[in-house]
Structure 1
Amino acid sequence: MADGGRDRELDIRGLTTRYGPVTALDGVSVLARPGEVTAVLGANGAGKTTLLRTVSGLVKGSDGAVLLGGRDLAGAPAETIARAGVAHVPEGRGVITELTVEENLRLGELLGSARRGKADKNERLASVYGMFPPLAQRRRQVANSLSGGERQMLVIGRALLSEPEVLLLDEPSLGLAPRVVAQIFGLIRDLVDRERITVLLVEQNARSALSIADTGFVLNLGRVVASDDAEALAADAELRHAYLGF
């Protein structure tokens, strides 16, 4: 991983994204700092997934800036954004089920080795296995044999092998049992504390997200309606009932 500081600060300013006549994001501004988990919360249709897809270049915004270390990545191709250090883990735990766990992980090295050719691939892989012991135990098994929680570990581990400055996580708790959700969220928090990377976490499970987040932003119909420290958002009963569902 690169040294910390502003190189890992993700500063989203006035981001607007449209699907035809529909405005999915309307001037959204979010600041995600290095060594922190920044949660983006809201109901279905709030614009959370569109935000991550726009930041990672899968969708092209119509206005605004996406600054990483002062470099504006808005409108750049997805490959360029990935090579700049932004790793996107989309909703759905997309693993290649016919490949083994280790083969899936090795795919993540492709971008990392291109950006950091001197890095030791085996050392990075060993580090990921250290973070996610179940993957080390199943490294030779095909990914189709993994549980939902193990698949989530696999896609996060694969993203980490690209050595990202910023990790975008879209609904990592989706479809997982509460015990597994707690495990995955604990691993995310440990990862941020140890590696000091920037994590932008999109979640509908607001209670769990706020339990590990440092700051949070609440979206409603494509606009930011609240932002504060995670503890303050969790303590705001009116806000929780109106937008967060707990």
Structure 2
Amino acid sequence: MATMATTATMAERGPALEVRDLTTRYGPVTALNTVTVRARPGEITAVLGANGAGKTTLLRTISGLVRGSDGSVLLGERDLTRAPAEAIARAGVAHVPEGRGVITELTVEENLRLGDLLGARRADRRYHLADVYDLFPALAERRRREANSLSGGERQMLVIARALLSGPEVLLLDEPSLGLAPRIVARIFGILRDLVDRDGLTVLLVEQNARSALSIADAGFVLNLGRVVAAADARTLAADDELRHAYLGF
């Protein structure tokens, strides 16, 4: 089994986002135990593992929704470890949590403008409203409809588009494929891959669907019971039969 393998391509560039020896506890339960994860700039880094492995806790700790008890979180050279969630978002970390959390009483465009308000504060923002409508034509067609009228796939597109409008350097995505039809997952993952390849966006992708995640990722980390048990480029992880059967379910 390939355990904590590191490839040359992963080592060539410094990380856009680095988590060092992070420990997060919920009372007596240790959800993350000295976890180290690095996301290279302009790459998709997948965080994989079964339910309860600590994947969601990792994203919540990075984005400041949960406070880690030990370790550090760095955005480039900027230490975000003790920063509040609002400051982390302003620094350029956009978190799309599991569950497609749109504000259903607002229209599609009103939801998007919430992200646009935060992005307008960033001089180096990459995306404007017209850009996300080009990326997600279904949202453009439904811009004046209330968000509660959208399908599950359209809601996932909406929360990703809203996050892009906030002007992120790093996009954290938690289980974007959950509950969606395979063709919708393929479409959303294809858009993510295009954003990385075309615009240099950095994505940290948490997924239980390991096969799909590794098909678009550049690198990956596997969590089990709050610890990193493997780290390598995506092809190496996908080719490791013992690792796949033990931790990834395919």
User: TM range, normalised to the smaller chain?
Assistant: over 0.9
SS class of match (1:115): coil
* Match for residue 190 of structure 2 among 176, 182, 186: 186
| 2:125/2:168 contact within 8 Å kept | no
**Residue 52 (structure 2) pairs with residue 45 (structure 1):** yes
Please tell me whether residue 70 in structure 1 is matched to residue 98 in structure 2: no
**Alignment correspondent of 1:196:** 200
Counterparts of 1:97 and 1:55, CA distance in 2: 27
**Structure 2 Cα separation of the partners of residues 84 and 219 of structure 1:** 27
C-alpha separation between the residues in 2 aligned to 1:228 and 1:172?
Answer: 22
> 1:46-65 CA distances to partner (integer Å, 9 max, x unpaired)?
00000000000000001111
- Provide TM-score, normalisation by structure 1: 0.94
Tell me how far 1:142 sits from its aligned partner: 0.9
**What is the one-letter code of the residue matched to 2:57?**
T
Structure 2 distance, partners of 1:119, 1:55, is: 21
Structure 2 Cα separation of the partners of residues 54 and 211 of structure 1 = 26
* Identity score, percent: 79
Matched to 2:50, the amino acid is A
Superposed CA deviations along residues 93-115 of structure 1, whole A, max 9, x for unmatched, are: 00011111110000001221223
State the alpha-carbon separation in 2 of the partners of residues 197 and 191 from structure 1. Answer: 6
**Distance apart, 1:34 and its partner CA:** 1.1
Q: Which residue number in structure 2 is paired with residue 85 of structure 1?
A: 92
**Runs of 4+ residues over 6 Å off in structure 1:** none
Separation of aligned partners in 1, 2:27 and 2:193: 37
Which consecutive residues of structure 2, in runs of 5 or more, have no partner in the other structure? 1-12
Task: State the TM-score, normalizing by the size of structure 2.
Answer: 0.92
> Counterpart in 2 of 1:162?
166
SS for the counterpart of 1:28 is strand
Partner of 1:243: 247
What is aligned with 2:120? 113
Map residues 12-161 of structure 1 onto 2, 5 A cutoff: 12-116=19-123, 124-161=128-165
Give the AA of the match of 1:154.
L
C-alpha separation between the residues in 1 aligned to 2:108 and 2:207?
Answer: 26
Alpha-carbon offset, residue 39 of structure 1: 0.1
Where structure 1 has 5 or more consecutive residues not aligned to the other structure, the ranges are: none
